[in-house]
Amino acid sequence: MESLCSTLKKADADWIRQLRRHIHQYPELSGKEEQTAGLVKDTLHRIGVKDIQSGIAGHGIVARLGENMDGPVVALRADMDALPIQEETGISFASRHDGVMHACGHDAHTAMLLGAAKILKEMEDRIQGCILFIFQPAEENSPIGGAQPMMEAGALDDPQPDAVFGLHVWPQLPVGQIGIKPGFQMGASDRFEIRVQGQGGHASMPHETIDATMTAVQISQVLQTIVSRNVNPLETAVLSISSIQAGTTHNVIPDQASLMGTVRTVQPEIRELMEKRIRQVAKHVAHSMGAQVHVDYHRGYPVLNNDLAMVEVVRKTVREQWSEQALPEIRPALTAEDFAAYLEKFPGAFFWLGCGFTDPEHNFPLHHPRFLVDERILPLGAELLSTLALRYLAEKRGEVQ
């Protein structure tokens, strides 16, 4: 990291940092990003961006720089929503909204994209084409998300981008490293809820009941065999039970129980298999226990597949701005990201921006109540996004190789 430095003026770097800290203090859940969207819109106005569409699919915003509508169009995207997590960082700018926290770094994403917009606005006369800035709501709101609703609302219809780029802070990588690979980088995510209907009664007389709690436990145990006994060991699948709920007191066997979980896959046929087997297991285990069962299975975000040519644009930008050492080999992850919806429609690439602290004791995973980013990434990320956009436009016009 010592060889890396931001070329931004200190005042601009501080401006990005203060934006991020303000957004961090006032997090908003998916679909409720009203104040955050207002801040984004006001900030864009203050830096001189005039072409702004707001209120898209809720609180989405698309801003545009560049007047050459006959030239290439590139889009940069940041997500704005937070998570229902109680913050435990103890920092001076911790969340002021009880039970809501930017535990996934979307505050940093939004601030960095605003920083990129400021950089690019100051050199707007050099933009030979068009740059779109997508500020997206509801990324955490799987299975719906915010990307697909924004596209369905026509946010990227006029003009349509020739390429779309996005990033995500990544604590597993140190500051100054970029994780990107062609093809599969992040998995498909589905979720399910299984509701068991039994027959309740006194806990001292279980023989007179149909135990919904025990049925749910049995279903949970058998579900764990699907991956190990139905999926080829050379293929990829994860099934996790994240919640089992039943009963309210010690001496009553409840008549209802529920369990929730997630499924992560890569191959479409494995995705189909997982849903089919979950339904079969729940039905037959419940039947064997004398209970009734209902399964709700929701398809979530698709697999995130990066376009090879767009990956190379990112890599060239990183090599020129930083170095070859900033591009380590990475393994894909089964975390999901609704940026994948853009990549199903437009060429593009999504990359991980290392935000890990030098001291590993300060590093916590995404979605953890003590998660934070190393703030040195903020000006670096803003510069990388702006440089990436300019390089893509130049390559598209044939000006660079």
| Binding-site residues from annotation for Mn(2+) | 104, 106, 140, 168, 367
d(CA 64, CA 67): 9
| Type of residue numbered 372 | L
* Residue from 12, 139, 255, 374 carrying the catalytic annotation: 139
Catalytic residue check, 81: yes
Annotated binding site: 104, 106, 140, 168, 367
CB within 8 Å of 206: residues ≥ 6 apart: 253
* Residue from 12, 33, 79, 81 carrying the catalytic annotation: 81
| Type of residue numbered 203 | A
Closest CA to 163 of 119, 129, 209, 206: 129
CB within 8 Å of 213: residues ≥ 6 apart: 246, 247, 253, 254, 257
Q: 188: which strand partners?
A: 265
Residue 283's H or E segment, with its range, is helix 268-288
Catalytic residue check, 208: no
Is residue 294 a contact partner of residue 193, using CB atoms and an 8 Å limit?
Answer: no
The two structure tokens encoding residue 172? 């597993």
d(CA 270, CA 258): 25
CB atoms within 10 A of CB 9: 10
- Phi, psi (rounded to 5 degrees) for 77: -125, 140
d(CA 39, CA 34): 9
What are the catalytic residues?
A: 81, 139
